Structure formats: structure tokens, C-alpha cells
Amino acid sequence: MTDTFPRQYARTQRLTLGEPRNIIVSPDGQRVVFARSRAGDDPVNCLWVLDVTAGQERLVGDPIALLGTDDDQLPPEERARRERMREGAGGVTAFATDSKVTVTAFALAGRLFVGGLVSGQARELVVDGPVFDPRPDPTATRVAYVSGRSLRIAELDGSSWELAGEADQPDISWGSADFVAAEEMGRYRGYWWSPDGASIASCRVDVSSVPRWYISDPANPSTPASEVRYPAAGSTNPDVSLHVLALDGSSTPVVWDRDTYPYLADVQWASPQRLLLTVQSRDQRSLMVLAADPGTGATDPLFADGDAAWVELVPGTPQVLADGQLVMCADRGGARRLLIDGEPVTPTDLQVRAVLAAQGDEVWISANPIDDATVQHVWKWTSDGVLTAITSADGVHSASIGGPTVVLRSAVVADAGAVTRVIDGPALESFAQTPLVRPNVSLHRYGSRSLATAVLLPADHDGSPLPVLMDPYGGPHALRVVQSHNAFLTSQWFADQGFAVVVTDGRGTPGRGSEWERSVLHDLASLPLDDQVDALHAAAQDHPLDLGRVAIRGWSFGGYLAALAVLRRPDVFHAAIAGAPVTEWRLYDTHYTERYLGDPGDDPTPYDDSSLLPLADRLTRPLLLVHGLADDNVVAAHTLQLSSALLAAGKPHEVLPLVGVTHMTPQEVVAENLLLHQLEFLRRSLTGT
């Protein structure tokens, strides 16, 4: 059978399989631990260790050998974690280590495995399960893990015992992240070992007041619907508290004003005597970092930030330097900046995206020039005030750091995939496949707002006018126009089918400074759509675009933007494919939606103005709605309610339900044929073929 790009793209999970990932570097810099599958079409990750000095990789954990079978039998907590992290692979998709990175723990099929990262040996530790999120204590003495709704401790002889749990309370869980923490805050865990291994700080999550929603499987009517606790905008969030649990059985609640600051965004131990927690107000206009005494649970403020729009949660913060100074990030002077004990130390022409590491007297960050979010670089700040650029070549760079060892991952436009290497040391081998398409892309900055725009044309195009496909995401927290080869593969495949593809990151997308990001406050529709239109018209000045045949496609926020485009601007857009679109923001979660639109109970106007449902009677163009029926993030009700409104208004449209599919589309046959189905719709809608 001849391979095709849609088939390859589906089989390789978007060309990600076979790449090193989840990289951890030991504090002495001697070992690099990572996950990677054995081939570019192998979905089962193994655990590997690179000996930096010898330059040799060693296999530590092989799921097939350890299990004797696959790991399809996953606990529901693990399935939920993978969905929140958009994780489509199997095998070792997550692992944790002790503080010296000498031992590791990971779960396979709900069973616990431990491994020596120096010896290179892994074995099963038979405990009461199912096992989720196992973590060795920092001293490598025992392993904690979540089993169902309880937090348990496993000794290295295989005995295990419950540290916290309330078996008679089905709405209460210990040690796991709640939905909005994992989906929107980037906090995927719910417990943290103290540095001395004597206690654990654990979340207690009570979802009894959170609305019950039901995700059914219409293709299998004999299967009961799954109940989920979904905190929709304006509704009740879970009650999340934090407790320090000593291994001797004592428990100390951490006390803060949870009425004012109900969101627990981050927890870290600064020392055995000091716990740090980041808390956020419901309206997200206020954030505090608190220091807690684990013995008494009393807290004192270390850092406070406020903003009339919202305070952004920055990955990797807070951290503490060796001298005790607090490392944070905040918007100051129009840019997101690195703060050391509250003082900005990066310039206003640099937008900090994340703190990668803080060790000794140095802080490593990823950042981009505030006028160019198509690149991402690695920088190092030292306590003498010097800021050093570690990367300079155009591309998307990130790093993992341990002691003197820096592992750099670099992706550029010219070359497929990415290169992961130790600076001044060996590279980590990648088995990722070479894509069957090669982007024929040009990058532009269009208009007075310098809109980052990519234009992709068919290879060897003769210069004749082409139908246009706009291919955006276009919303907060994600970029599509980045200087990375693999970012444009699907767009190029559509281009090679006879389209000019235009991709634009407009206002509201990250990287371009405070005002740019906050421009969508109380209106997620108008400015993102205006920027798509402006970029399209500007691109037509430079490229052979047929503005009489313009389509737009997108997924999630991009799906919302695509449907919005044909409803509001049928004069510009002649067809749309809306995948998993948010159509009514009252149906989306609290933490994301209220950040931009506020509480619908206080002011419904932003929700009314951003909803697609009142626009249903405006549809005059072909619209294809695509939605996974098992989606628990953007639930299928979004598409079904819009479809119902369109039908009531007498507006023909198409709906493609994806049976058993969540917000991701990892299934190979689904992912491949979904691309082909979209192509057929575009050809039929724009060219009549």
C-alpha cells in the first residue's frame, strides 16, 4: 500500500512518535532521563537514560517486556490525565524520580514499576491498586501513589498502606488534580513530597457541589453514560484544600483565605520547614504566593500581583534561589518579565514564556522578542544581573537543566522534526519519521499590527490564482505561526491539494505583550476575526489568492473562529470547517472562560456577544461541524446546540459526529479519514468538484 501524508500523519501521531520527551536531568548533570518510543510509528514509549560522560543511551523500562502485553487497561484517572495533557501515546507517558535522579517510578496498566537509573534495571512493585501518578520520595526510600480517590504509600518490600482517603465520601478525593487545575492551570498533580520524605502536601478535592454532566455513547445505547463533574462558567467549582500529611498519621490543614483565593495553582516545597503555594482569585485579577509553615499550617504572603484584566499563570513559577530570593514572572511595563524578589530583571522588549529552571544563583527562561512570537529562545539570568542568550538561530528552542548540563531542543523551519542535544555534549537520538510533505512557506508581518502570517503554496505552483484556506487557531495560549518545520505539515498538505493556505496569529494569542493578550477581554470574537480578515487581504497583495473562493478551518478555539467567520463575515468567507467548536461560552469551564468573559451571572453581555447561537439565522455559506461524542472538554452539546439552532432557522449545514472520540483524535483511522473528509468538503464547497 502506498503511504500518504494523511496516513503517515495519523500513524505517527502528528510526527511526534520516536522523539525524546519528558526530559529530566540529574542535579549532578551526569544522567539525562527521558521517554521515547522505538520507532516513528511505535506508540509505546520506553524509559531511557543517557550517560552524559560516556555519551551512551541505556534502556531502563520497556513496557512490553515488563507487562508481557499492552497497557490499554488504564485507570480512569490515567485516562483523564492523558486527555488533559493531549497525550495520545502509550507505555511510559509519565515518570517521576527521587531528588538525585537515581531511582524512578512509573505506572503501566495501573501497576507500579520502579527502576534504578544508575543500574538501568526496572521491576514491578506489587501493591494494592490500581496505581496512578506514582512518585518516589526525595530520599528514594518509598513511593507514594494515588489509587482511586485515596493517596497511598508503597514500601520497597511491596507492602502498601493508605495515607489519606475517605471511602465513605464518593465526592472527595486525595492526591489528584481537579479538572480545571489540569485543563487550564497546567497543574496535573495533586500531591508533593517534602524534601526530607517525612510528609506529603496533598490536595483534598470535594466535587459535591460541582454540576453533574453526562457523556453518553450514542453508538452503543446499552452502555451507561459517564458522569463527569463539569464546572461550567458561572457555576460552582470544586472545593480544593491543602493538607500536610505526616507519615506518622498526623495531618495539618494549610490555612489561607480560600473564599477570596479559591484556585490553588501551584504547590512547592522550598525546604522541609517551608511550603510555597500559589493561589488565585475566582476572577483571576489577583494572585498571591504564600509561605506555609507545615507544622502549623499558618501562611504568610511572599508575593502579590493584581491586574484589571487578569493575572497570567506562568509555567515554572514560583521558584527559590539558593539565597532564598523568590523567582516569579508578572506583566510589568507592557511585557511579561522575570521578577527576582519582586524586581523586574528582564527588559520590556522581551516576553518571558516560562521559567525552565532556577538553581544556585541562576535562572533559565524561555522568551521571545515582544515583536516576534514566531521564535522562542532560551536565556540565562545570573545574580550579577547579566542576561545571556543561549540560543540565537531563528526557531523554537526549549531546554532542560540539571547542574552543569543543559539539554537543548531546537526546531527550525528548514529541517523536519527537532534536534535534542546536550550543549557541548551528545545528542539524544530521534526515531521520528521524515514527513512526506515539505512546507513551501513564507513568513510575513502584515499591516499596522504586524500580524504574524504564514502563506503556503503548492510545490512548483505556476502562479495562477488559488482558492484560499485560512487555517488558524487564533485564540489565547496557542500559536500556529512559529518557525518550526513540523508546525506547517498539515497546512502544506492542503496546499498541495490545490489551495493557498494562510495561517495568522492575531490579537489574543500569546507572546506579543500585555496589551495584545488582553485585547480580547470581554470579547473573544471581534478582534480575532478582524485580524484573520486583515491578514487575508494583505496576503492577497503578495500572493495569487482568489478572494472569491475563501474557506476557513480550525479545531477547538479555531473551530469557534471558523464558524464565527462564515456567520459574521460571509462577504469574506465562503465555507467553513468547525472542529470541536465552542459555540456557547456558558458551556465551557470556569477558569478559562471567566478569565476572558467574566462571570455570566454578573454580566451576561460578553457571553451573549461571543456566542454563535444567536447568529444561526445568518448562515448563508457551507458549514461542516465536526465533534467527538466522547469529548469531555468541549462537550458535543456545543455542536448539537448550534446544529439545532441552524435547523430551526432553516439553514442547511453538515454535521460529522466522531464516535468514541474525545477532544483529541489519536485514532489512526479517524485522524486519516478526517483530513480526507475535510478535503472533499472544501473541494465541493469552493470548486464544485
400: which strand partners? Answer: 407
Beta-carbon-side half-sphere exposure of residue 339 (alpha carbons within 13 Å): 19
Residue 346 lies in a domain: no
Q: Which tens digits make up the pLDDT trace of 388-447?
A: 999 999 999 999 999 999 999 999 999 999 999 999 999 999 999 999 999 999 999 999
User: How far separated are the first and last CA of the chain, in Å rounded?
Assistant: 26
The pLDDT of residue 77 is 85
Residue 201 lies in a domain: no
Residue 368 lies in a domain: no
The confidence band for 1, taking pLDDT boundaries of 50, 70 and 90, is low
H or E segment and range at residue 528: helix 526-542
Domain holding 610, by residue range, is 441-687
Torsion sign (Cα): 335, 341, 343, 345? negative
Domain tally, the chain: 1
Type of residue at 282: R
DSSP state letter for 543: S
In degrees, to the nearest 5, what angle opens at C-alpha 310 toward C-alphas 308 and 316?
A: 140
> Are 597 and 607 spatial neighbours (Cβ–Cβ below 8 Å)?
yes
Residue 109 lies in a domain: no
The pLDDT of residue 71 is 62
pTM of the model: 0.96
| Whether pLDDT at 68 is above 80 | no
Helix (H, G, I), strand (E, B) or coil at 94: coil
Residue 275 lies in a domain: no
| Whether pLDDT at 270 is above 60 | yes
Q: Which three cell numbers stand for residue 218?
A: 450514542
The pLDDT of residue 85 is 75
For the ranges 73-87, 195-209, 358-372, the lowest mean pLDDT is seen at 73-87
Q: Which three cell numbers stand for residue 76?
A: 480512569
The candidate with the shortest Cα–Cα distance to 268, out of 164, 181, 352, 189, is 189
The pLDDT of residue 287 is 98
Q: Which tens digits make up the pLDDT trace of 283-311?
A: 999 999 999 999 999 999 999 999 999 99
Residue 605 lies in a domain: yes
Q: How far apart are CA 528 and CA 524, in angstroms?
A: 7
The confidence band for 449, taking pLDDT boundaries of 50, 70 and 90, is very high
In angstroms, how far is CA 300 from the centroid of its own chain?
31
The pLDDT of residue 644 is 98
- Widest CA span in the chain: 76
Distances (CA, A) of 412 to 394, 417, 489, 622: 7, 8, 13, 36
> Are 265 and 187 spatial neighbours (Cβ–Cβ below 8 Å)?
yes
The confidence band for 156, taking pLDDT boundaries of 50, 70 and 90, is confident
Q: How far apart are CA 684 and CA 331, in angstroms?
A: 47
The confidence band for 689, taking pLDDT boundaries of 50, 70 and 90, is low
Distances (CA, A) of 657 to 552, 560, 637, 639, 666: 19, 16, 11, 9, 15
- The CA dihedral of 622, 625, 626, 631, to the nearest 10 degrees, is 170
Residue 615 lies in a domain: yes
Q: How far apart are CA 108 and CA 123, in angstroms?
A: 11
CATH number of residue 664's parent domain: 3.40.50.1820
> Are 307 and 285 spatial neighbours (Cβ–Cβ below 8 Å)?
yes
